[in-house]
Structure formats: structure tokens, C-alpha cells
């Protein structure tokens, strides 16, 4: 026990004892703006307890010394807590709150930045009577902070508890979190320990506490909300909807943050693509005019999973020109872009209602464009045109001026042009084609993505269909083997058919789609549509089917052979495969089995 000092030197002895017992980091807390500690094991608390048996006068001296630092928040005064990793517009909100009469409490680097901006700051450790410790892991996790955030002003016993312990209330909490997302997705990667240290603990705790108590505390996690916050406070408003919106945003902010941490830890520990539970953080990119139909409301969200960072796709494309994208525009542009990116050689793809109606690859991209449109000019009109090469001045002029092969007069109209890049002159020319033409610049989708699709009450998840002709074996099962050119045609047709809605048939020759049949309930009807579109060019062409033929004789296989198809590529696997082989042998057609199905629903 500390012995009670006696005699004339009582006050001086107590002061020296108090200073000896007080660590240096606590000395600034003697400021009258500080709040009392809640730590009952603190040396000063021990001092006050140890003097309980001393004389009355000595007790009064000791209690007066302690009470100098036990000043509670003044009634009617206002206090804001600011702790930011992203310090964008910090000076704006800090000065704004100070001008409105708020005492600013802050931490570490945020406090230093505020002071540099001319804002008077009370540091968190002055309230907690405890230093930042464990390399910054513990700063704000303290009753003097969380008590001031969580206390309900309409609960008398809450206020009494604060007064008992000398804790002031917080009216505004402005917090954002360690840059975990940016760290773990940085180009050079991140060491596991560095990733762990960037998991914020104190920040989410303060945000959640303030959001829970939003009736009394305004919580802000987004710098875009600083102006609205200050305007709200200037008006002395009490808009519950504004408070509730900020609280929602705060919880959503933390939820997305936790989702990223969860995704990263799962990948580090197990790595399986299908975890027991899955969170998909989505960020609103735009509100759409309507959905698939005018009576349906719609919006477009960007997938913010870590796996989607720098992974390409239409969602992150840049729109250089044209009307705002619609719901159907996004679907069609995605289909066109996914298809054209499959091809190595310069390629043009034309899509209508998510189906490629024209595909052509040529060394000369102008020729590829013309052939892709020619495959089905009626469908191409009003469609989406995609290229896997840069659109320059020459190609842009061709897109702008090209006339429909159907009549040689009508200038082709498109909803969207999408490409990996544009020259400055190419963009200028395309902008002149139409005020409404949407011009998108996109990055190729990375392989290996997780594909998600919603059904009523749930989601289906699967690997993306990334297989190309180089990944599979085209096995000859017929008596006649295809020529090298026929094999190349079969590979081209097979690559096209994977992007056509089932039941799907594609007929192609010389790296050009001649005709396709899609979305029919039976394969025979899809074949007949494709044959009709291919016309007289069908002789010697390649035919690809997305799935096996259940029947051959007097069915799709025999009809294809009768139209003088040169080679057929299909997965095989039917109980009647032998019928298909025998039929092709009868007509002298090459038959290839791929052992890979390409259903697309």
C-alpha cells in the first residue's frame, strides 16, 4: 500500500507522488477538456483508494487532484470523433465541424492531418487515459469511446452511467477503414501477415456502434456525404430518414469490407471455388430507365468481389459516347464481347438478343466486319458489333458508311460498338455516326471466373465455360477423315456454337459463320434455321452442334448430310451414336466427337 503523507508537506508530497505514479503519456490529460478514465486499476485510482484511511483533510487534497482530470463533457457541448484511413476532404469536414462548434476528437495520423489543417484536436488517448498499443491494434477500443457513442440520450440510466464515469457523448462519428481491399488486390500482391495487419478492428466497431445508435449519433463513412452532413447540422434538423440512410450506408460499408476479408481468408486457407457460404458485394453503377421491358424497374451493379478486380468484362467498360446503357444493352454487349474475345485472329462478332448472328475472322478486319454483317444482315440491323482489335480511322469509316448487304442502300444501324481500344480519330468518326450510338471500350474477361445465375430463392454457381479448341480433342469416328481446312472450319464452328442459345447449330466455312439456329426446343428445327440462313454456301461447310444428336436417320444428322455438309462436330454420348456414325459413313461426311457439351440456357 502507498503510505499516506502527513505534515505540512502533504500537498507537495501528494503532487510528487502523483507525478511519479503517472506515465508521461497521461500528462496531457490534465487538460480540462479530457474525460475521466474507466480503468479502475489505473495508478491514480489506486492513489485515491489508498488514501481512504487518512485524515479528512488529506482525503480532500487527494480527491481535488483527481477531480482536476475528471471533468465530464459539458452539457450542451458537441463532440465529433474522426478517424480516417482515406483522408480525402478531411480538412473540409474537420473545419466545417469546428466552425459549427464541435470539439474534434481524433486518432494518430488523422489527428496530425487535422492539426496541419488548422483544426484543434483532442487526441483519443486523452480521453481513454491509455496509449495506442500493440502496433496500433488498440486505440479506440475503450469504454470512454464506445460509451460516448452507444449511450442512448433518452435513457436516464445511460446518462447517469456516463456522468458517474466522466464520459462525454459523441454526436458525430466520421470513420473509414484500413485499405484492406486495395492492399490485397495490389499489382505486386501482399504477404499474408501484411494482409492480416490491414484488417481493421477498431474502425468497424465504432462504425457499427454509431450506426446502431443513429438516433443520437450521425455516422459518416463516405467523403461524398460530408457536404450533406454539414448542411444537416447547420439546419439543426432532426430528420430520422437522413440518420437512417447514413446508418444503412455504414452497415453496408462494413458488410462489404467483411466480405472482402472473408473471401481473401477463404482463398488463403482452402481456396475451393465453392465455399460453404458466399457473400457477393455489389456496388450500384447506374439506375436504368427500365428492365427488359418498360414496366420493369432496373439498376446495374458492379461485382466488387476480390476475384473480379482487374478481371475485365463489360461491367467495367468505359463508355465514350451515346445514350445511357439499358438493361438489354448490357446483356447484348456482354454476349458480343464474350464471344469476340474467344478468337485469336482479328474478328468481328454481331449479336442480336444475346445470340451471335454473324462471326468472321480475317487478317483484314474490314473484310471480317463485312462478312459478319453479311451472315445475317436483317438481324444485324439494330444489333451490337464487337471487335477484338483496335478500331482505327479506316474501320470507323467502314462502320459508319457500310450499307446493308440486303439491299445495298440502307446504312447499317447499331446500338453498340465495343472494342478493346480506339484511336482518337476512330472515336471522332464513330461519334459522328449517331448521337445515340453507344461506344464501349472493354477489357477481355479473365478465364476462371465464377459464374452466378439467379433462380427463385437461390443462386446457381459454376465455373465459366473457358474451353477452346486447343483444350479438347476432335476425334474422328467416321470412315472419312476431314481435310485440314475442314478441321479448322469445325473448330471455328465449335467455338461459335458455345455462344449460341441451346438447342444450337452453327454452320461455318473459311472462318466465317454462314448460318446458325438457336433456342429451339428440338435440334432439328435449329438445324433447319441454320441451313436456310447458310443458303447455297453450305456445300462442304462445317456444322457444330452444342450437344449430341439423339437421333440420326430421318433426323438432324441425315438432313445435314443431305445438304452436303462436309464435316460435323458434336460431343457424342448418345445411345444412338452408332446411328450417327453409320449415317455419316453412308453420305461420305466426316464426323468428329469432341466429348464436350456446350449447353447455354
* Unique residue bearing C-alpha cell 447458310: 534
CA distance 24 to 420: 61
Helix then strand then coil, % of the chain, to nearest 5 = 40, 20, 40
Q: What is the DSSP string of 258-282?
A: HHHHHHHHHHHHT--SS-SS----E
CA distance 181 to 256: 10
370-405: string of b/e by CB count within 10 Å (b at 16+)?
Answer: bbbbbbbbebbbebbbbbbbebbbebbbbbbebebb
DSSP state of 199: S
* Unique residue bearing C-alpha cell 477538456: 33
431 is written with which cell numbers? 461519334
Positive or negative, the CA dihedral 187, 192, 193, 195 is: positive
Measured in whole angstroms, the distance separating CA 217 from the mean position of its chain's CA atoms is 29
- Nearest alpha-carbon partner for 500 in 535, 474, 530, 470: 530
Of 353, 397, 425, 443, which is the active-site residue?
A: 353
- Nearest alpha-carbon partner for 469 in 369, 544, 541: 544
304 is written with which cell numbers? 466488387
139 is written with which cell numbers? 486505440
Q: Are 220 and 231 in contact (CB under 8 A)?
A: no
146-158: string of b/e by CB count within 10 Å (b at 16+)?
Answer: bbbbbbeeeeeeb
Q: Verify whether residue 212 is a known catalytic residue.
A: yes
Q: Verify whether residue 353 is a known catalytic residue.
A: yes
Q: Are 255 and 280 in contact (CB under 8 A)?
A: no
Q: Are 324 and 289 in contact (CB under 8 A)?
A: yes
535 is written with which cell numbers? 443458303
CA distance 65 to 30: 10
Three-state SS letters, 70-119: CCCCCCCCEEEEEECCCCCCHHHHHHHHHHCCEEEEECHHHHHHHHHCCC
CA distance 584 to 557: 8
Give the contacts of 342 (CB within 8 A, at least 6 positions apart): 468, 495, 498, 499
CA distance 104 to 121: 5
Q: How many other β-carbons are positioned within 10 Å of the β-carbon of residue 597?
A: 16
CA distance 578 to 591: 11
Of 78, 87, 212, 273, which is the active-site residue?
A: 212
DSSP state of 424: H
Three-state SS letters, 126-145: HHHCCCCECCCCECCCCHHH
Q: What amino acid positions are annotated as catalytic residues?
A: 212, 353
Amino acid at each position: 500500500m502507498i503510505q499516506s503523507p502527513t505534515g505540512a508537506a502533504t500537498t507537495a508530497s501528494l503532487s510528487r507522488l502523483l507525478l511519479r505514479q503517472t506515465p508521461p503519456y497521461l500528462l496531457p490529460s490534465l487538460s480540462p477538456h479530457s474525460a475521466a478514465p474507466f480503468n479502475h486499476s489505473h495508478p491514480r485510482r489506486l492513489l485515491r483508494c489508498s488514501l481512504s484511511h487518512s485524515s479528512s483533510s488529506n482525503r480532500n487534497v487527494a480527491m481535488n487532484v483527481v477531480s482536476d482530470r475528471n471533468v465530464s463533457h459539458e452539457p450542451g457541448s458537441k463532440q465529433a470523433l474522426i478517424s480516417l484511413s482515406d483522408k480525402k476532404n478531411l480538412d473540409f469536414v474537420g473545419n466545417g465541424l469546428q466552425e459549427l462548434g464541435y470539439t474534434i476528437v481524433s486518432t494518430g495520423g488523422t489527428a496530425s492531418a487535422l492539426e496541419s489543417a488548422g483544426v484543434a484536436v483532442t487526441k483519443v488517448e486523452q480521453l481513454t487515459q491509455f496509449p495506442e498499443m500493440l502496433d496500433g491494434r488498440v486505440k479506440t477500443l475503450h469504454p470512454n469511446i464506445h460509451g460516448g457513442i452507444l449511450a442512448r440520450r433518452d435513457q436516464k440510466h445511460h446518462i447517469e452511467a456516463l456522468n458517474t464515469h466522466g464520459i462525454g457523448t459523441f454526436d458525430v462519428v466520421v470513420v473509414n477503414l484500413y485499405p484492406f481491399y486495395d492492399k490485397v488486390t495490389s499489382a505486386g500482391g501482399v504477404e499474408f501477415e501484411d494482409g492480416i495487419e490491414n484488417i481493421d478492428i477498431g474502425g468497424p466497431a465504432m462504425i457499427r456502434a454509431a450506426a446502431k445508435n443513429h438516433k443520437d449519433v450521425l455516422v459518416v463513412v463516405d467523403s461524398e456525404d460530408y457536404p450533406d452532413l454539414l448542411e444537416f447540422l447547420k439546419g439543426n434538423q432532426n430528420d430520422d430518414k437522413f440518420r437512417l440512410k447514413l446508418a444503412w450506408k455504414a452497415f453496408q460499408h462494413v458488410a462489404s469490407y467483411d466480405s472482402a476479408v472473408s473471401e481473401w481468408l477463404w482463398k488463403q486457407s482452402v481456396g475451393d471455388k465453392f465455399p460453404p457460404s458466399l457473400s457477393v458485394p455489389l456496388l450500384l453503377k447506374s439506375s436504368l430507365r427500365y428492365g427488359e421491358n418498360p414496366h420493369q424497374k432496373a439498376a446495374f451493379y458492379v461485382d466488387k468481389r476480390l476475384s473480379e478486380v482487374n478481371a475485365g468484362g463489360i461491367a467495367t467498360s468505359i463508355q465514350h459516347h451515346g445514350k445511357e446503357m439499358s438493361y438489354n444493352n448490357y446483356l447484348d454487349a456482354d454476349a458480343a464481347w464474350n464471344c469476340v474475345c474467344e478468337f485469336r485472329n482479328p474478328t468481328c462478332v454481331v449479336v442480336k438478343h444475346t445470340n451471335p448472328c454473324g462471326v468472321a475472322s480475317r487478317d483484314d478486319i474490314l473484310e471480317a466486319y463485312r462478312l459478319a454483317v453479311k451472315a445475317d444482315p436483317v438481324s444485324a440491323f439494330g444489333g451490337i458489333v464487337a471487335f477484338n482489335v483496335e478500331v482505327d480511322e479506316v474501320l470507323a469509316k467502314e462502320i459508319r458508311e457500310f450499307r446493308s448487304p440486303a439491299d445495298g442502300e440502307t446504312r447499317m444501324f447499331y446500338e453498340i460498338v465495343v472494342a478493346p481500344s480506339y484511336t482518337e480519330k476512330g472515336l471522332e468518326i464513330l461519334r459522328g455516326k449517331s448521337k445515340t450510338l453507344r461506344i464501349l471500350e472493354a477489357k477481355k474477361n479473365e478465364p476462371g471466373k465464377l459464374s452466378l445465375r439467379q433462380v427463385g430463392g437461390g443462386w446457381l454457381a459454376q465455373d465459366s465455360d473457358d474451353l477452346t479448341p486447343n483444350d479438347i480433342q476432335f476425334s474422328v469416328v467416321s470412315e472419312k477423315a476431314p481435310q485440314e481446312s475442314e478441321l479448322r472450319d469445325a473448330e471455328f464452328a465449335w467455338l461459335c456454337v458455345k455462344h449460341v442459345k441451346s438447342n444450337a447449330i452453327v454452320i461455318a466455312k473459311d472462318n466465317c459463320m454462314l448460318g446458325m439456329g438457336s433456342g429451339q426446343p428440338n435440334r432439328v428445327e435449329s438445324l433447319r434455321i441454320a441451313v436456310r440462313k447458310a443458303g447455297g454456301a453450305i456445300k462442304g461447310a462445317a456444322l457444330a452442334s452444342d450437344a449430341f444428336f439423339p437421333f440420326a436417320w430421318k433426323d438432324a444428322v441425315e438432313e445435314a448430310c443431305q445438304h452436303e455438309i462436309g464435316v460435323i462436330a458434336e460431343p457424342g454420348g448418345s445411345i444412338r451414336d452408332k446411328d450417327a456414325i453409320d449415317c455419316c459413313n453412308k453420305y461420305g461426311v466426316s464426323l468428329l466427337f469432341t466429348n464436350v457439351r456446350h449447353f447455354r440456357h
